[in-house]
Structure 1
Amino acid sequence: MNLRRILAVQPGQPASDGAGVRLNRVIGGAGIERFDPFLMLDEFSTENADDYIAGFPPHPHRGFETITYMLEGRMRHEDHLGNVGLLQGGDVQWMTAARGIIHSEMPEQEQGAMRGFQLWLNLPAESKMADPEYRDIPNAQIPRLRTEQNVEVVVIAGTFKEGENHQLGAVQRPHTEPYILDLRLPAGSSVRPELPAGHRALLYVYQGVAQVQQSQEVKAGRLVRLDDQGDLLIDSTEGAGVLLIAGKPLHEPIVQYGPFVMNSREEIEQALRDFRDGSFA
């Protein structure tokens, strides 16, 4: 095997967003171009209701897609277009903000665990002002399989391929061609997901300990950034949960101001004017 080179291993950073929701910010902030086409990855994982109860009151987005993947808990989505959805354990919400969505994400529970992820995926310049879209994908409609080594694979987007195993995901997207896989490795197992050459590949270990590319031990809470050429090998001697995200870089300018991600400062200023004037979407 010609294994992809490990470029960096880094921990997430404690953060707060919305009305005070505590998060682990895995991707976001300075140097975001290194993760193109991904803009942000947040993990929320707590059993303390004070960490999530205030939720995310109404706020805008423009220029990208948000993918929310719930592991545990209940979160309700509402937006100014009339969409309403309830995310529960195992469900996925795929929202294409494009030219604009104003939405809220509020917990529908007052106690218990809340665990999951939100990923921001950039849109190409030609799609940033397209019509917004919204889709809820229930757990039961998300393809999954078990490999010969008993690794459970939840195929959210793209395709899982390993030897004879081949499973198309729940979502396929043009331009960025994203792969989003939840890999649940039992103790003593390994998995070799096949990815297209040129795709930027990231691994986030959210549970247990994984060995990546036969050389790097990665504990929970750390992100691995990989080269865009070669093979991928993930092992775990004690068991691990790993979120694999990969996508085709857009190689376009990224200008971000909070919840707006465009290609130029002028487009950001227009987004701010549209939001203030009530002509946002």
Structure 2
Amino acid sequence: MALSAVSRQVVKKVLAVETPEGAGALVRRSIGSMTLRNLTPFLMLDHFHVSKGAGFPDHPHRGQATVTYMLEGSSKHEDSAGHKGTIETGGVQWMCAGKGIIHAEMPVHADGVPEPRGLQLWVDLPKQYKMVEPSYQELGPNQIRVAYPEGQNGPTKIRVISGKSHGVESPVRPLGGCWYFHVIFEKEGTIFQEIPAGWTSFLYIWKGSIKVGPKESALDVPTFHTAVLSAEETETGVSITGTAGTEFVLVAGEPLDQTVFQYGPFVMTTKEEIQKTLIDYQMGQNGFEKAHKWKSEIGNK
């Protein structure tokens, strides 16, 4: 490990407790819960499990990006801008809601296939991008580039959903800085992942266990925990040791110097902007022209 490799440390650990959400879905929410708020630019992290008959029918968004990453099974999506498709296991949808969109996210259930499970991360948009046109960046499971810190026969591989890892870069270009990695330990090992200085970073683990930080002060992070990392300017990344079969996401984002006013699926920077958003939604204007006319096919079966 190079002398310049100075590791971040865990400053907070939060257990994501499973709770009901949407129409019959179950989620483990960490970021956005009462125990973990104000983690700019991140607004919410849900580890979701959608059983048969459950889902997330038609609902609006404004002012944030929603990143849906499927861990098992698949999920259909459809929106008021005419966009529709399926996110398969290992695929990601990076949706910038911008000034307004209505969409539905519904699971795919079939005999002999896993029930849909995945992660949804909400990332706050910089205020200058709050009212842009909605847009999507999607990668199928075979389009996500993979980094091998110690070669293809090494103990770890990193699926690079956004950002850069060990010489591999994702084509995804978020509005505002955000790196998102799915790290898999196939054997016991240790990695050092670089993170831009000063960025907010966290990891969420759903399989196995890891030790995070410098060897002499590494902390254990068990399954279903979110660990927030330190952000000293001298820290160049994070050292992580994992056991065989361990899987987690490591996410980092550029902090935003702006206030957060959130009303459900609407995220703006002032109370007045939220009031204006509610009026726009009620009146069907400024991005919500189809709010009361459009109905998805998948969310209204």
TM-score of the superposed pair, with normalisation by structure 2? 0.86
For the 8 Å contact 1:80–1:101, the answer to whether it is kept is: yes
CA contact (8 A) 1:209 1:238 kept: no
2:130 to 108, 128, 131: 128
* Corresponding position of 1:217: 220
After superposition, give the CA deviation of every residue in 1:178-205 in whole Å (9 maximum; x if it has no partner): 0100000123211100011011110111
Question: Which has the bigger relative contact order, CA under 8 A and spacing at least 6?
Answer: 2
1:118-267 mapped onto 2 (5 Å cutoff): 118-148=120-150, 149-161=154-166, 166-175=167-176, 177-213=177-213, 214=215, 215-229=218-232, 230=235, 231-267=237-273
User: Residues of 1 paired with 2:137 and 2:9: CA distance?
Assistant: 35
The residue type equivalent to 1:85 in the other structure is: G
Measured at CA, do residues 275 and 128 of structure 1 come closer, stay the same or move farther in structure 2, by a change above 3 Å? same
1:41-93 Cα offsets, whole Å, 9 max, x none, are 100247xx34xx32111000000100100111121100011000111101111
Aligned residues with identical type, % of pairs: 36
Asked if 2 retains the 8 angstrom alpha-carbon contact of 1:210 and 1:239, the reply is no
Q: Which amino acid aligns with 2:225?
A: R
Q: CA deviation at 1:217?
A: 1.1
**Alignment correspondent of 2:64:** 64
Measured after TM superposition, the shift of residue 30 of structure 1 is 4.2
Gaps of 5+ in 1: none
Contact 1:155 1:170 in 2 (8 A): no
The alpha-carbon deviation at position 110 of structure 1 amounts to 4.6
2:240 and 2:194 map into 1 onto residues whose CA distance is 12
CA contact (8 A) 1:71 1:89 kept: yes
TM-score of the pair, normalised by structure 1: 0.91
Q: Which has the larger radius of gyration?
A: 2
1:31 CA displacement: 7.0
Q: Distance in 1 between matches of 2:110 and 2:260?
A: 38
Task: Give 1:242's aligned amino acid.
Answer: F
1:38 equivalent in alignment to 2:52:
no
Distance 2:173 2:10 in 1: 27
Cα distance in 2, alignment partners of residues 45 and 192 from structure 1 = 31
Check the 8 A contact 2:77/2:103 in 1, yes or no: yes
Paired residues in the alignment total: 272
